[in-house]
Amino acid sequence: MKRIIFALLAIVLSCGVLSAQENKSGANLPTVSVKTLDGKTIKASEFSNDGKPFVVCFWATWCKPCMMELNAMAELYENWQKETGIKIYAVSIDDARTCPKVKPLVSASGWTYDVILDQNSELKRALGVNNPPHTFLVNGKGEIVWQHVGYAPGDEDNLIEVFKKVVKGEDVK
Amino acid sequence: MVIDKWLISKTKKKMKKIIYSLLFILPLFWVSCDKIEDDEKLVYLKGITTETTPITETNSIQRVLLEDYTGWKCVNCPRAAAKATELIGTYGEQLVVMAVHSTAFASPLASNNNVDFRTEYGEKWAVDFGCSSLPAGLINRTKVGGAYTIGDANWDTQIQSTISTKEHLMDINLGAVYKESYNKILVSTENVFLKDVSYSTQINVVVLESGIVGVQLNSNTDYGTTPKIEDYVFNHVLRKNGLIGYPLSDSAVSKGTTVSTNYLIDVDTDIQDISKCTVVVFVTNSSTGEVIQVNQIHLSE
Amino acid sequence: MKKIILIISFVAFSINSYSQGLFGGKVTGNFQMDVQASREDSVIGAEKVNEKMLMNAFTNILYTNGDFSAGMRFEAYLNPILGFDSQYKGAGLAYRFASYKKDFLEITAGNYYEQFGNGLIFRSYEEKNLGLDNAMDGLKVIARPMEGVAIKGIIGKQRYYWEDVWASDDFGLVRGIDGEVSLNSVIKSFSSSPLQVTLGGSFVSVYDKADTRFIIDQQTGNNYKLTTPENIGSGAARIQMSYNAWNLNAEYARKGQDPNAVNGYIFHEGEAAYVSAGYSAKGLGINVAAKRIDNMSYKSRRSETGNMLNINYLPALTRQHAYSLFAMYPYATQVNGEMGIQADIMYKLKKKTFLGGEYGTDLKLNYSRAMSIDKQLVATNPAGSYEGTNGYTSSFFKVGDDIYFEEINLEISKKISHDFKLNFMYSYQTFNPIAIGHEGEEFVYANVFAADVTQKMNKNSLRYELQLLLTEQNYGEWATGNWIQGTLEYNLGGRWFAAASDQWNYGNETGEKTHYYNFSIGYTKGTNRIQISYGKQREGIICIGGVCRMVPASNGLFATITSSF
Model pLDDT for residues C494-551, shown as the tens digit of each residue: 789 899 999 999 988 888 888 999 999 999 888 888 999 899 888 776 665 555 666 7
Q: Which of A15, A100, A109 sits opposite C278 (nearest CB)?
A: A100
Q: Which residues of B touch C231 (CB under 8 A)?
A: 32-34
Residues B100 and B249 in one domain: yes
Domain that holds residue B12: 2-32
Q: What is the pLDDT of residue B86?
A: 94
pLDDT category at C368 given cuts 50, 70, 90 is: very high
Whole-number average pLDDT of chain C: 88
Assess whether pLDDT exceeds 60 at residue C413: yes
Chains that touch B (3 or more CB pairs under 8 A): C
pLDDT of residue C290: 95
**Cα–Cα–Cα angle for C539, C545, C550, nearest 5°?**
20
Question: Cβ separation of A129 and C313 shorter than 8 Å?
Answer: no
Q: Tell me which chain C residue has its CA closest to the CA of residue A28.
A: C26
| Confidence at residue B47, expressed as pLDDT on a 0 to 100 scale | 87
Residues B27, B69, single domain; the answer is no
Of the pLDDT bands very low, low, confident and very high (cuts 50, 70, 90), residue B46 is confident
pLDDT greater than 80 at residue A10: no
Q: How far is CA C560 from the centre of its chain?
A: 21
Asked if residue C275 has pLDDT above 90, the reply is yes
pLDDT score of B24: 47
Mean pLDDT of chain B: 88
Determine if residue B289 is left, alpha or beta; phi over 0 gives left, psi from -120 to 50 gives alpha, anything else beta.
Answer: left
Residues composing chain C: 565
C307–chain A Cβ distance below 8 A for any pair: no
Shared domain check, B69 and B25: no
Confidence label for B301 from pLDDT (cuts 50, 70 and 90)? low
Contact yes or no for A95 and C315 at CB 8 A:
yes
Residue B46 placed within a domain: no
Start-end of H helices in C88-222: 183-186
pLDDT exceeds 70 at position C28: yes
Q: Does B219 share its domain with B76?
A: yes
Output the pLDDT for position B74: 92
- What's the Cα-to-Cα distance from B299 to each of B49, B54, B111, C483, rounded to whole Å? 18, 13, 33, 67
pLDDT > 80? residue B17: no
Range among B20-24, C9-13, C249-253 rated most confident: C249-253
| B26 pLDDT above the threshold of 50 | no
Rounded mean pLDDT of C440-450?
Answer: 92
Could you tell me how many CB contacts below 8 A there are between chain B and chain C? 117
pLDDT at C474 (0 to 100): 86
| Nearest CA distance, C116 vs chain B (angstrom) | 15
Is the domain of B6 the same as that of B104? no
* pLDDT average, residue stretch A4-13: 54
Give CA–CA dist B62/B164, Å, rounded: 10
Comparing B36-45, B216-225, C92-101, C233-242, the range with the smallest average pLDDT is: B36-45
Predicted TM-score (pTM) above 0.90: no
pLDDT for res B14: 64
pLDDT at residue C82, rounded to an integer: 87
CA distance, residue C15 to nearest chain A CA (Å): 6
Same domain assignment for residues B213 and B114 = yes
Domains of chain A from N-terminus onward: 26-168 (3.40.30.10)
pLDDT band at C12 (very low <50, low <70, confident <90, very high): low
Confidence check: pLDDT of A17 > 90: no
Considering the domain architecture, whether residues B91 and B10 belong to the same structural domain is answered as: no
Which pLDDT does position B27 carry in this prediction? Answer: 43
A109 and C11 within 8 Å at the Cβ level: the answer is no
Do B27 and B131 lie in a common domain? no
Q: Does C89 touch chain A (CB under 8 A)?
A: no
Question: Is residue B19 domain-shared with residue B136, that is, in the same domain?
Answer: no
Residue-wise pLDDT for A20-49, tens only, equals 443 345 788 988 999 999 888 999 999 999
What is the per-residue pLDDT for C59? Answer: 95
Give the length of chain B.
301
pLDDT (tens digit, 9 = 90+) per residue, B129-146? Answer: 999 899 999 999 999 988
Q: Are residues B6 and B71 in the same domain?
A: no
| Residues C454-476: tens digit of each pLDDT | 998 888 889 999 999 999 988 87
Q: Is residue B43 a part of any domain in this protein?
A: no
* Range name among C93-107, C358-372, C484-498, C528-542 with the lowest pLDDT average: C528-542
pLDDT at B38 over 60: yes
Q: With 50 as the cut, is the pLDDT of residue B30 above it?
A: no
The band of C235, judged by pLDDT with boundaries at 50, 70 and 90, is very high
According to the model, what pLDDT value does residue C11 have? 62
* pLDDT of res. C5: 59
- Give CA separation, C409 vs A66, A68, A100, B84, C481, in Å: 21, 20, 18, 90, 20
Residue closest to C204 by CA, chosen among B28, B254, A23: B28
Q: How far apart are CA A159 and CA A148, in angstroms?
A: 9
Q: Answer yes or no: is B41 within a domain.
A: no
Confidence check: pLDDT of C76 > 90? yes
Q: C153, B50: Cβ pair inside 8 Å?
A: no
- What is the average pLDDT across A147-155? 88
Q: Give me the residue spans of the domains in chain C.
A: 103-315, 316-513
Number of domains, chain B: 2
With 70 as the cut, is the pLDDT of residue C279 above it? yes
HEC readout, chain A: CHHHHHHHHHHHHHHHHHHHHHHCCCCECCCCEEEECCCCEEEHHHCCCCCCCEEEEEECCCCHHHHHHHHHHHHHHHHHHHHHCCCEEEEECCCCCCHHHHHHHHHHHCCCCEEEECCCCHHHHHCCCCCCCEEEEECCCCEEEEEEECCCCCHHHHHHHHHHHHHHCCCCC
> What pLDDT was estimated at residue B265?
92
Mean pLDDT of chain A: 85
Interchain CB contact of C78 with A (< 8 Å): yes
Q: For the domain that residue B149 is a member of, what is the CATH number?
A: 2.60.40.10
pLDDT (0 to 100) of residue A88: 95
Q: How far is C118 from chain A (nearest CA, A)?
A: 6
pLDDT (0 to 100) of residue B28: 45
**By mean pLDDT, which of A23-32, B286-295, C82-91 is the weakest?**
A23-32
Task: Output the pLDDT for position B145.
Answer: 87
Contact list in C for residue B39 (CB cut-off 8 A) is: none
Q: Are residues B265 and B154 in the same domain?
A: yes
User: Tens digits of per-residue pLDDT, A42-86?
Assistant: 999 999 999 899 999 999 998 888 998 999 999 899 999 999 999
For residue B263, being part of any structural domain is answered with yes
Q: Which pLDDT score is estimated for A131?
A: 86
| Same domain? B14 vs B73 | no
Q: Check residue C10 and give its pLDDT.
A: 62
Kindly report the nearest CA distance between residue B228 and chain C, in angstroms.
41
| Minimum Cα–Cα distance from C4: chain A residue | A5
Q: Contacts of residue C176 in chain B, CB cutoff 8 Å?
A: 28, 31
